[in-house]
Amino acid sequence: MSDAEFRSGFVCFVGRPNTGKSTLTNAMVGQKIAITSSRPQTTRHTIRGIVHREHAQLILVDTPGLHRPRTLLGQRLNDLVRDTYSEVDVIALCIPADEKIGPGDRWILTQIRQMAPKTTLLGVVTKIDKVGRDQVAQQLVAVSELLGPEADVVPVSAAKGEQVEVLVDVIASKMPEGPAFYPDGELTDEPEETLMAELIREAALEGVRDELPHSLAVVIEEVLPREGYEGQDDSSSEMLDVHALLYVERPSQKAIVIGKGGARLKEVGTNARKQIEHILGTRIYLHLHVKVAKDWQRDPKQLGKLGF
């Protein structure tokens, strides 16, 4: 392929909660940058993953899921999605191979068609490792009928890495010709603080049933290089002290996050620290504090303070 045919552009994965969007983002980029969780609306920020290939550069825009908003936060998240949909080159609707197409999928499709009628639409059948070939074939036909004859449909398993490169090629073929937007080797343009906050939030939501999802916000207060730190090994001569605040809405939720004798918060810190060190390539020490901000999701002042 000649240089003239290099293609670059923006793509957005959409779909119901838990349809494999973030896992797919991470598989295509080759590193964990989007948080993966089985809960709706765990993604709060437009994290862009950057996929570098010889013939193309794809910028993956990860949006919060579209939903019927019940709070001011919900409304703001939906506005964020609307803006994103109209600005990307390709929207890929993700539908798992192991679940029937339902009203949720149809609702999302209707929203996309209303918000971004001119944007190229693509179908992605995810989690094909979970079912047999016949079921994958049936789902491909069903998704094809849902989207119409002009839309391509690609089956993938992000967890197993199957067909991921095929999907990259199909998306690339739909991008406009043009130069790369980002230098080679850059994986996201998201500020490090935002990534840290997302990873701490993911660790805090892990294993807590339904008590917390939307009630938890994480703010990175400060990141300071530790003075006089000399690494014990050659891997890193630097250590960062990261101070983070976890905001919940009620004292009962604070107790859940902290756990008995602080055990749960300690576990959250350990898990988040590993992920953050992996991404930053440097040693960090996490200082986590939990605060109650009453009903912050419904309070415009609090929302602004927490970055929404």
288: part of which helix (H) or strand (E)? strand 283-292
Phi, psi angles (nearest 5°) of residue 69? -70, 140
For residues 10 and 89, the answer to whether their CB atoms sit within 8 Å is: yes
Q: Is 66 annotated as a binding residue?
A: yes
Q: Is 19 annotated as a binding residue?
A: yes
Q: Is 22 annotated as a binding residue?
A: yes
- Tokens 């008995």 belong to residue: 260
d(CA 228, CA 239): 9
Q: Is 64 annotated as a binding residue?
A: yes
For residues 108 and 13, the answer to whether their CB atoms sit within 8 Å is: no
Q: Is 18 annotated as a binding residue?
A: yes
SS3 93: strand
Q: Is 126 annotated as a binding residue?
A: yes
Q: Is 129 annotated as a binding residue?
A: yes
Q: Is 127 annotated as a binding residue?
A: yes
For residues 244 and 199, the answer to whether their CB atoms sit within 8 Å is: no
For residues 206 and 199, the answer to whether their CB atoms sit within 8 Å is: no
d(CA 267, CA 17): 26
Q: Is 254 annotated as a binding residue?
A: no
Q: Is 62 annotated as a binding residue?
A: yes
Residue 249, token pair as written in the block: 């809405």
d(CA 31, CA 175): 23
Q: Is 261 annotated as a binding residue?
A: no
Closest by Cα among 76, 45, 43 to 298: 76
Q: Where is the binding site, in residues?
A: 15-22, 62-66, 126-129
Q: Which residues are annotated as a binding site for GTP?
A: 15-22, 62-66, 126-129
